Structure 1
Amino acid sequence: MLRHLTAALMALAVVTATPAGATPALVPAADREVVFTADGTTVYGTLHVPEHRPGQRLPAALLLPGSGPTDRDGNQPPGSTPDTLAQLADALDGDGIATLRFDKYGTGRTGLGAYRDHPEELDYPAFVRQARAAYESLRDQPETDPRALLVVGHSEGAMTALLLGGTARPRPAGLALLQPQAIRLLDLVALQLEAQVAEATRQGQFTPEQQRTVNAAIAAAITSLREHRPVDTTDLPLAIARLFEAFQGSSARFVSSDDAVYPPDTAAALRPGTKVLLTCGTNDAQVPCATTNALTTALRHGHAGGPGRVTLPGVDHLLHDTAHPNTLAPPVLDALHRFARH
């Protein structure tokens, strides 16, 4: 009788016990709303957590958008909806990296927040402080590994990523600077405008003499802005004149404070060995590869880690190419995977 009872108990143990070495069920990938505060403003974002083991701490990346009213997904609806940041989150999911993206000031659920009644006081440092608050929120999420935090910025967001890289705590393990604003803002604006005027001249809209006159007026306008003097728009085409008028209006404080940052200077504050990816696209008319030369040199002198600068053949500013006009181009995905696994 006792022998039969012992056998029955052993059989029950085999049925109910977890087999040695068995893998517990994975937690499926999911998005959830994240709320944090920056300078008295409630900021809303999306945390994406890849599939993972229960209790596992994951590397995590803060995603930062480009200039203008660009929301958490990388869109400026209704006119521009490339989903840049949402697609970056999907790409990083494939490497097991959690991501946080958020609605910066003036976009999405966040809106202008504390600046609602005085938007003219919104300057670039406010956006940096907002990004730092987002980084701290990501650091404190239960699924993230605070020793493996990354910052991935696109365009102006890449400059913000650089500033965070030298000041945030804990220091990021890596930065991905995608088509970065790598020179002073107004210098970049001048390059973009001069390229547009050159194209208009090529199409016969301006004579070479008119082109020289307009370029000189652009240079004078930028000097006036930096010296806080009124801009003379007499020799500027209407569209360009309106741009400089806006730079003197409600956005004057932002433009001045953004233009004060020279990105190569910020590289010196990075912790030596910080892994850095810097991309430039050969079809990027907004941030030509040549504008990243000084920053690339500064990163090298600061002993940043790899993969370093990666040139993306045929890729434009929104990280697309002609074969992939609505999704991240394959060279972008390859560079991201190299960065994630470096």
Structure 2
Amino acid sequence: MTWRSRVLAALAALIATTTVGAGTGAAETTGSRGFLPAVDREVQFDVDGTTTYATVHVPAHRAGHRMAAALLLPGSGPTDRDGNQPPVLTPSTLALITDALGGDGVMTLRFDKYGTGQTGLGQYRGNPGRIDMAAFTRQAAAAYGALREQPEADPHALLIVGHSEGALRALLVAPIVRPEPVGLALLAPQDQRLLDTLDRQLAALIDQDVAAGRLTEAQGEANRNGISRAIADFRAGRPVDTSGIVPTIATLLNSLFGPLNTRYIRTDDAVYPPDAARKLHPGTRVTVTCGTADTNVPCWTTPPLVSALADAHTSGPGLKILPDLDHFLHPAGTPANDKTLAPAALQALHDFTRPWRRD
């Protein structure tokens, strides 16, 4: 899938009481030393009139041992509990993070957010245009509560790990849940306002068209100006005119700024990630990753977020620059659907979990 197709597909799809389900039974018997094998179990929880479906992974552990527990939050668009947008984009980012954290003895919960997987749109099915950023945040907070109530979870060692937009949501969830998480891993985080990110990404696509000779320099400048103007008009509540913009990008903007997506786009764009970061509890252990080959969230956009985390007096590994890694934590040039995490990304996760790592 081309870079252009991946960006357009992902961005165009931006909208679209805990009950423990039956486990596999593998954890019901212990070994000769009381050591329980790893197990996945399906759970569900209700929030705002919708049942959300999730998977809890419990690593192998000694019977009765409480362990660190991490909520995993997916990126933008219809990204499901495994970090996939089937059938097109299936890197399994969150499933791979589950495996990495499990190897360190950290249990996880990952869930199908609104518009994905088994959860679907729930109460928003009849009118998906009503969904907004706050709804996704409430759903994630309820997922955190479901994780906290798992019998193996240590309530004093609750973590949140978010990828891309999921990292922004981690910043929004952390101050409103109790107990507050003791650690956050912000992986390739959304670190600018949504429409600033969109403007930059679409300008990069135009630059590629100019470099490839598909547009002249003058056409490129006109398109970049047209995109910025359309975004400014949307933010100001004025009619959006996409005439003169290349058709694929004009179609994307018309979709994002149409009635189905307007509420969500406005409420996401209203959040400036560094402002959210300043609300974290002092001492929270935080790691931030940026891949030098990440064209979605390039490293040069990261400093305001990192500075805000310092203002909040967070601790921990801090910024981890991942040489030659892309947005999906792959080495540059790796197919987007490759189901591996690069060693540097795995090391960043291991460094983050160091205080809670299983002996």
Provide the TM-score with structure 1 as the length reference. 0.92
Q: Deviations over 1:119-149 (max 9, x none)?
A: 0101111000000000000001100001100
Alignment partner of 2:261 out of 227, 251, 273: 251
Partner of 1:237: 246
Alignment partner of 1:78 out of 66, 84, 87: 87
Partner of 1:290: 300
- Secondary structure, counterpart of 2:321 in structure 1: strand
- In structure 2, what is the Cα distance between the partners aligned to 1:324 and 1:247? 29
AA partner of residue 353 (structure 2): A
Gap runs ≥5 in structure 2: 1-30
Alignment partner of 1:337 out of 350, 353, 359: 350
Residues 1:265 and 2:275 are matched in the alignment? yes
Q: CA deviation at 1:37?
A: 0.7
Would you say the 8 A contact 2:293–2:332 is kept in 1?
no
Partner of 1:321: 331
- In structure 2, what is the Cα distance between the partners aligned to 1:278 and 1:225? 31
Q: Deviations over 1:226-280 (max 9, x none)?
A: 0122211112111111111112220111001000000000112111110101000
Partner of 2:16: none
Alignment partner of 1:96 out of 77, 80, 105: 105
Partner of 1:5: none
Q: Deviations over 1:71-117 (max 9, x none)?
A: 00001111111110000000000110000000000111100000010
AA partner of residue 338 (structure 1): D
Alignment partner of 1:146 out of 141, 146, 155: 155
Partner of 2:218: 209
1:15-164 equivalent positions in 2, closer than 5 A: 24-164=33-173
Provide the TM-score with structure 2 as the length reference. 0.88
Structure 1 or 2, whichever has the larger Rg, is 1
Would you say the 8 A contact 1:167–1:269 is kept in 2?
no
State which drifts further: 181-190 or 234-243.
234-243
Would you say the 8 A contact 2:242–2:250 is kept in 1?
yes
Percent identity among equivalent residues?
Answer: 55
Q: Deviations over 1:186-228 (max 9, x none)?
A: 0000010111111110111111111111111111011111012
Q: Give the 4+ runs in structure 1 shifted more than 4 A.
A: 322-325
- In structure 1, what is the Cα distance between the partners aligned to 2:234 and 2:162? 27
AA partner of residue 307 (structure 1): P
* RMSD, matched Cα: 1.3
Would you say the 8 A contact 1:214–1:235 is kept in 2?
yes
Partner of 2:236: 227
Q: Deviations over 1:266-314 (max 9, x none)?
A: 1121111101010000111111111111001111111110200111011
